[in-house]
Amino acid sequence: MLILLSISILTLLIASVVMILASILSKKTILDREKNSPYECGFDPKGSARLPFSLRFFLIAVIFLIFDVEITLLLPIASIIPMTNIFSYLITTSLFLSILLLGLYYEWKQGALDWSS
């Protein structure tokens, strides 16, 4: 227990020293209006650099990420077929796929997948 505590304290001490040295030795930047502009070329921008972002696109991207993560959870199921009972495999896979399809159906009915509207 004493060894674990001493290793933890030593690790914390080394990390703190490295962070303090990094903040002391880091290059300090001078805030300048031209340097903070989105173009950094010395010219004043004509319009706003902040363009409006499509909320529809963001929602579809989040839905894609959710279903992508669920597919990565689904891929290892094929590798466990020899190690499991076929009945429990079918029940588990069917339940997981039905939850995925119900989620997709819900998103479709809510209109989240309609890009044109």
Give 95-110 pLDDT, tens digit per residue: 988 998 898 899 889 8
Domain membership of residue 34 (yes or no) is no
pLDDT band at 13 (very low <50, low <70, confident <90, very high): very high
Give the model's confidence band at 112: pLDDT under 50 very low, under 70 low, under 90 confident, else very high.
confident
Backbone angles phi, psi at 109, to 5 degrees: -70, -30
- Give the domain range for residue 94: 78-117
In a domain, 70, yes or no: no
Report how many domains make up the chain. Answer: 1
**For residues 96 and 4, what is the distance between their CA atoms, to the nearest angstrom?**
42
Mean pLDDT of the chain: 82
In a domain, 117, yes or no: yes
Q: How confident is the model at residue 8 (pLDDT cuts 50, 70, 90)?
A: very high
> Does residue 100 form part of some domain?
yes
Q: Give residue for tokens 């990390």.
A: 15
Give CA–CA dist 83/59, Å, rounded.
38
Residue 103 falls inside a structural domain: yes
In a domain, 68, yes or no: no
Length of the chain in residues, anyone? 117
* 89 belongs to a structural domain: yes
Q: What pTM was estimated for this model as a whole?
A: 0.49
